[in-house]
Amino acid sequence: MSADHTPLVFSGMQPTGNLHLGNYLGAMRNWLKLQSSYRCVYCVVDLHAMTMEFDPQQLAKASREVAAAYIASGVDPQRSVIFVQSGNSDHAELAWIFNCVARVGWLNRMTQFKDKAGKNSEKMSVGLYTYPVLMAADILGYRATHVPVGDDQKQHVELARDIAQKFNNDFAAPGFFPLPEPIITGPATRVMSLRDGKAKMSKSDPSDYSRINLADDADTIALKFRKAKTDPHPLPESEAELEGRPEAANLIAIYAAFQEKSRQAVIDEFRGAQFSMLKNALADLVVAKLSPIADEMRRLLGDQAELDRQLREGANKARAISGPIMEEVRRVVGIGR
Ligand code: TYM
């Protein structure tokens, strides 16, 4: 078995509500760039969305919306594989096999479970606990070598590496599964809430003012930036002065990411100015970037039959990659027929 794997990019997003600026800047923008150099597989992870309370009536709709957001943002179904996770049952089967590889101690260290469960861990679903194992199956089921994600998913990709390594040691050969690398790059790998610069921008924040959704209209975007929390000082003159000013750092990072500039270049542009200047410029910039995406999303969702056809085609392509890998996996663990 060769340890050299053909590079393959895999990533996914949960259909649990609106995609927001954090998803876009932290992950999706890197997905788009990778399409020109790598084989890319981008998944709407509906099985992951079942790990917390969910509404079955909404799940299929939310999955279509996320798929439409991928395509509207520039993920090209001709170049990249786009599909819904449940459309390829290899994910669930490999997750079970990996449940028998991963150790309880490894999962006990996952900070996202602790964050999501809080004091209620006993009442959480077992699915939420083993969520990172399903994520490892998503990645390794395609022998993916690169995983573009936001900063919050780093620990999960590291767990996928640990699972790959243990599987290789216990059942197969050193190169059977690649050890996937997270790709976490850009000035906005961790976009923060607009209401609290110390909290991550998140779909689950009860305040819609905490985030900019990809589907927000121009007035809503401008209003959310206007209401964004700031501090009483003028904008800084240097990166060092951002220390202890999380809200300023966040707005500057968002601006830098959209302009494809460094944080220092943005600081140079706004040094000493009032926050309102930056907020107005941000609103204009973000509206200009996001409104064509929102329009295209609406257009794609208007033709559900065509979107579903593209997703079925994507699932067929996904199975064509994972199928032969799963046959090898079954054989090495002794369940192949
Ligand atoms: P999810 O759906 O929470 O988020 C999707 C992607 O968006 C990134 N992200 C952020 N980046 C910067 N700032 C933020 N505030 C922010 N919020 C979210 C996430 O890091 C992620 O890249 N477990 C994954 C989904 C998943 C997956 C996978 C990812 C399932 N299987 C296999 C990669 C590979 C998740 O919940 O992402």
Task: Give percent above pLDDT 70 in the chain.
Answer: 99
Q: Which residue has the higher pLDDT, 3 or 103?
A: 103
Are the C-beta atoms of 136 and 164 separated by less than 8 Å? yes
Residue 154 Cα to ligand 1 midpoint, Å, equals 10
Condensed to tens digits (0 to 9), the pLDDT of residues 254-268 reads 999 999 999 999 999
Is 80 exceeded by the pLDDT of residue 6? Answer: yes
Residue 132, token pair as written in the block = 């990172």
Neighbours of 86 (CB within 10 A): 19
Return the structure tokens found at 121.
């861990």
User: Between 56-73 and 304-333, two packed helices, what is the crossing angle to 10 degrees?
Assistant: 100
On the CB side of 266, how many CA atoms lie within 13 Å of its CA?
Answer: 26
- For ligand 1, the distance from its centroid to the CA atom of residue 270, given in whole angstroms, is 31
Which residue has a Cα nearest atom 24 of ligand 1?
Answer: 13
> Using 50, 70 and 90 to split pLDDT, how confident is the model at 337?
confident
Distance 25 CA to ligand 1 centre (A): 11
What is the arrangement of strands in the sheet containing 8-13, beginning at the earlier edge strand?
Answer: 81-84, 39-44, 8-13, 146-148, 181-183
Distance (Å) of CA 245 to CA 26, 41, 251, 292: 20, 38, 10, 32
Tell me, what's the pLDDT at 2?
Answer: 42
Ligand 1 and 200: CB distance under 6 A: yes
* Cβ–ligand 1 contact at 116 (below 6 Å): no
Model confidence at 128: pLDDT above 50? yes
- Residue 238 burial (CB < 10 Å; 0-12/13-18/19+)? exposed
Ligand 1 pocket check for 46: Cβ under 6 Å? no
Ligand 1 lined by 191 (C-beta under 6 Å): yes
Q: Give yes or no for residue 23 CB within 6 A of ligand 1.
A: yes
221-262 pLDDT per residue, tens? 999 999 999 999 999 999 999 999 999 999 999 999 999 999
Distance 238 CA to ligand 1 centre (A): 30
